[in-house]
Amino acid sequence: MTQNALIEAEQKRLSVISSDHFAQLTPPARTQTFEGILSGCSEMQKIFGVVEKVAKTRSTVLVLGESGTGKELIARAIHAVSGRAGRLVPVNCGAIPEDILESELFGHEKGAFTGAVSSRIGRFQLADNGTIFLDEIGEMSPKLQVKLLRVLQERKVDPVGSTRSVDVDVRVIAATNKDLAEEVKAGRFREDLFYRLQVVPVTLPALREREGDIELLAQHFLRRQADELSRPELSFSDEALRTLSSYSWPGNIRELENLVERLAILCDGESISSDQLPDFIKGARSTTLIQREDFVLPMLGVNFNALVDDYENKLIATALAQTGGNKKAAAKLLGLNRTTLVEKIKKKGLEARIEVCTVSDEPSL
């Protein structure tokens, strides 16, 4: 069987993620899109600018962000803008067992191991002249990390059981929801590979940090569901949209999309009110509203920035005290990314204050 025939057979076998699932979003008027990604958030517009600049290069890109923030959509946008002749081949490194992943990535020769009844092209070869998207790269074993590093350095792959290397021209995009710097410190991820992957890092904000996008995306998903269900146009009440916007969305865009689908199916009328939202969404709003006492500003005025800064410091210290100094848990409590919280702590010079605070709050033995 020729190599071209093997590649063609492998393309059919893999059936790389359905194009329907990643069909471009249809934006309402005056909203901003980039290669099918819908957003009106200024932070996302900056990311779109980075993507446009890096897409035309061969540089490796590391996409970071919580689960459900759209990391694969960014990878697809980079590939689309790149103009590379080959295809985009996604690989979920966390979903494939280690002993199988090596063969999936690099291919194997007939008889290389039990069950290898024929030679098979790996996904790096399948992505030749195109892009390979390595999702959940933080789950890759140390053994495969070494082999991936060699591919990045030499642009060659070694099929399992083969005595020859195969040249490949592949753009590598990796993604993870893990803090790879912390994984390096813990000895679970190679430092040299980390630096080779993050030539151009792209950090996606959580949905709760994308101002205005919750309402924008909720309305878009609802319009799409109405079309799919062949129903009259559906809409959210203003109160329902405010309630949706107050929820922290730990599952991000994927969670919002799934909820909107459920609401569209169960809705009897043409409008979805806040009463029809799940209790955990409605409850989140009531618990996140901060009660304040009425006050009168002094005649001489106040130092607004100083007061806001002081209040922010107290929020951070309180969250860390409540979570025993666990920055990841504190960030979730505050509705921030962990990296955002760490940056704020460093910028404000709060390390010493927080250390004292969390130690003093520990229970006595």
| Least confident residue range of 12-21, 55-64, 71-80 | 12-21
Structure tokens at 157: 């792959």
The count of C-alpha atoms lying within 13 angstroms of the C-alpha of 336, restricted to the half-sphere facing its C-beta, is: 19
* Structure confidence at residue 353 (pLDDT): 56
Assign 138 to helix, strand or coil. Answer: helix
pLDDT by residue (tens digit) across 28-64? 333 578 998 999 999 999 999 999 999 999 999 999 9
Q: Which amino acid is at 160?
A: V
pLDDT by residue (tens digit) across 339-353? 888 888 888 887 765
Average per-residue pLDDT in the chain? Answer: 83
Can you tell me the mean pLDDT for 66-80? Answer: 96
Q: Is the pLDDT of residue 286 over 80?
A: no
Q: Which CATH number fits domain 3-205: 3.30.1050.10, 3.40.50.300, 3.30.365.10, 3.20.20.60?
A: 3.40.50.300
What are the b/e assignments for 76-96, b being 16+ CB within 10 Å? bbbbbbbebebebbbbebeeb
Q: Is the pLDDT of residue 356 over 60?
A: no
Long-range pairs of 268-276 with CB within 8 A, sequence gap ≥ 24: 270/232, 270/233, 270/234, 270/235, 271/234, 271/235, 271/236, 271/237, 272/222, 272/234, 272/235, 272/236, 272/237, 272/240, 273/237, 273/239, 273/240, 274/237, 274/239, 274/240, 274/242, 274/243, 276/240
Q: Which amino acid is at 315?
A: L
* Structure confidence at residue 30 (pLDDT): 38
Can you tell me the mean pLDDT for 95-119? Answer: 82
CATH class belonging to 304-359 = mainly alpha
pTM confidence score? 0.70
Can you tell me the mean pLDDT for 142-147? Answer: 93
* Structure confidence at residue 292 (pLDDT): 45
CATH of domain 208-288: 1.10.8.60
Can you tell me the mean pLDDT for 119-123? Answer: 86
Assign 58 to helix, strand or coil. Answer: coil
Q: Is the pLDDT of residue 314 over 90?
A: no
The domain limits of the chain are 3-205, 208-288, 304-359
- Measure the CA–CA gap between 325 and 354, rounded to whole angstroms: 8
pLDDT by residue (tens digit) across 218-277? 999 999 999 999 988 899 999 999 999 988 899 999 999 999 999 999 998 899 999 999
- How buried is 221 (Cβ within 10 angstroms: 0-12 exposed, 13-18 middle, 19+ buried)? buried
* Structure confidence at residue 342 (pLDDT): 87
Can you tell me the mean pLDDT for 64-69? Answer: 94
Quick one: DSSP state of residue 25?
A: P
Domains 208-288 and 304-359 alike in fold: no
Can you tell me the mean pLDDT for 87-105? Answer: 92
Nearest to 8 by CA among 177, 126, 116: 126
The count of C-alpha atoms lying within 13 angstroms of the C-alpha of 91, restricted to the half-sphere facing its C-beta, is: 29
Which regions of 66-218 does DSSP assign to beta strands (E)?
88-92, 131-135, 156-157, 166-167, 171-176, 200-203
